[in-house]
Amino acid sequence: MTTPEEKKKGGSLVMTIVALLVLTGVAGGGGWLVGSMVGNQMATDIQAEADPVSPLEAMAAKENGDNGDGKDGEGAEAVPMTPQTLTLAPITTNLSYPSDSWVRVEVALVFDAAPDPALAETIHQDVMAYMRTVSLQQIEGPRGFQHLRDDLSERAAIRSDGQVSNVLFRTFLIE
């Protein structure tokens, strides 16, 4: 004979199994729903990257009489305004602390107009002098690297009176 306590234990075991099956079904359905939503968003993003014209550019082109063939309303070809870049010679120098740590940096300057080689050489020397004052602790991690990038961009913009709009890192190696 079974006692009431044994029946209660058997009933609670069945209820636990049923609850686990229901929760597993809900979790699986939720995962499928989120996965399909993310997959659709990724497909949309990939298609947008493949399309060279953004929706805002397409709207602006229609308003300006552009029919999308690369020519404006009067028949003249549209000339894209692209900034000029100039790659500087690699810089290899030691850091201020620890002094036995070396850094090799290759940067490119983004000019708003035609690049000026004399100005680029001045900025090259300024970057080298600045790198000698930097400690390893200052440039550790993503924040430190971002601060270094911002500092170099600001220094180049000041040195060039605004002709250099950005400094791009091509290589960055610390030994």
Question: Distance between CA atoms of 172 and 116, rounded to whole angstroms?
Answer: 24
pLDDT for 140-165, tens place per residue?
A: 999 999 999 999 999 999 999 999 99
Query: To which residue do tokens 């805002």 refer?
Result: 56
Cβ atoms of 102 and 175 within 8 Å: the answer is yes
pLDDT at position 88: 94
Q: Is 59 helix (H, G, I), strand (E, B) or coil?
A: helix
Q: Which tokens go with 82? A: 């692209």
pLDDT in tens, 77-114: 544 556 789 999 999 999 999 989 999 999 999 998 88
* pLDDT tens, position by position, 30-86: 888 888 887 777 666 666 555 555 554 554 555 555 554 444 444 445 445 567 899
d(CA 46, CA 72): 28
Length of the chain, please? 175
Distance of alpha carbon 160 from alpha carbon 119, whole angstroms: 7
Amino acid identity of residue 64, one-letter, is N
Strand, coil or helix: 98: coil
CA 3 → CA 7, 8, 14, distances in Å?
7, 9, 17
Q: pLDDT class for 12, splitting at 50, 70, 90?
A: confident
Partner residues linked to 66 by β-bridges: none
Rounded Cα gap, residues 151 and 126, in angstroms: 12
Identify the H or E element spanning 17.
helix 4-50
Looking at residue 57, its pLDDT comes to: 56
